[in-house]
Structure 1
């Protein structure tokens, strides 16, 4: 019996430079699959017809639900991720965010390249004026970050306490972060108090620094209680 050999390479070479269509007679990309077989015989499908299409373009872009992907992978519908491996507290992971205008996915970062949503910094500020920090510039960009003080402590070199020379008491500590000149500043003080041993003390201030990519500023809510101790606020727009 004779064996018949067909030069396969010759057959494939006929369509090397053509577009391939599956379920469509008018492919719009290098590979075009019309899932529902509802595309027109000629010309480009409508947006509704593209919804069930998958394409691979000549530049290697993949479009799902669109025949004109503008990124390496673009889908116009929802994506589902199955069970993924947990990080189990391991550090070194960044966060993906979506551009609400273009739909493009990116790795969130500040202008300096920081890719973490939350950052923790401890400021050890020694030899302050008694117990008073009037203005400590952290040089953290207030456009890029928001600073929240999560805790603090104060000590003097020999462990001396605080006192008020006139009354023997002092007001609770007043500590806060504020934006000035484009950076975050810290202020800390025991109002009305001073160190009992007249020795300058040291503050330890714990700060949570949040990447502003994830912050939504809702402005200032102002309320006038008219001299009363009770009142309520309007719900901020955007919540």
Structure 2
């Protein structure tokens, strides 16, 4: 009987105030919960309500083992548990015999689980060529998957720092996306000319 009366009072309060608070006297939405919550199913309002100008958001993620709970993401999970999008920086000292060449550097990042994009780079030394003076050095920098991990290559092909300069150091900034949240689309297009267009939009 007590449970029935409590439920009636709760529903009556909801009907009067249009907002219900659990463990809070100042509910901000139709239902505000101040504490933990467990549910076997959840229904979202359609369309989803926009955040107010003074409201913030929380990214929900599975916490690291052994807890494995759905919780608000925070920086303490890193590096034990990667975020959906990660920024990783490598500083790689080149081979002294070449001074600007990085070949097949293994990041040990699982290529079946993550997608890697080189977002920016830097090199510590000036480079030159001993052939034509009008040539402009263009770096060859890319990430590729091989043997189950992401590898890196960086080189000024046909150019090198002067022999009097110290060995160069590459700074490579990687954006690493968890494939559970990122979609990778591959396509091959045959232009047949100098210009062209995709046969269909890959995403829209």
TM range (shorter): 0.5 to 0.7
* Paired residues of 1:170 and 1:192 also in contact (CA < 8 A): no
TM-score calculated relative to the size of structure 2: 0.62
Residues 1:166 and 2:135 aligned together? no
* Paired residues of 1:170 and 1:193 also in contact (CA < 8 A): no
Secondary structure of 1:147's partner? Answer: strand
Residues 1:214 and 2:181 aligned together? yes
* Paired residues of 2:114 and 2:176 also in contact (CA < 8 A): yes
The CA deviation at 1:162 is: 1.2
Task: State the structure with bigger RCO (CA 8 A, min sep 6), 1 or 2.
Answer: 2
Which aligned segments of 4 or more residues in structure 1 are displaced greater than 6 angstroms? none
In structure 1, stretches of 5+ residues that fail to align are: 1-14, 23-70, 88-93, 98-104
The CA deviation at 1:106 is: 4.8
Q: Distance in 2 between matches of 1:108 and 1:224?
A: 46
* Paired residues of 2:87 and 2:174 also in contact (CA < 8 A): yes
State how many pairs are aligned. 162
Mark the CA change 1:86 to 1:170 in structure 2 (over 3 Å): closer, same or farther.
same
In structure 2, stretches of 5+ residues that fail to align are: 9-37, 62-68
The structure 1 residue matched to 2:171, chosen from 201, 204, 207, is 204
Q: Distance in 2 between matches of 1:231 and 1:201?
A: 40
Structural RMSD (CA): 3.8
Higher Rg? 1
Q: Distance in 2 between matches of 1:127 and 1:140?
A: 20
Q: Distance in 1 between matches of 2:203 and 2:70?
A: 24
* Paired residues of 1:221 and 1:233 also in contact (CA < 8 A): no
Residues 1:96 and 2:60 aligned together? yes
* Paired residues of 1:162 and 1:195 also in contact (CA < 8 A): yes
The CA deviation at 1:200 is: 2.6
The CA deviation at 1:164 is: 1.5
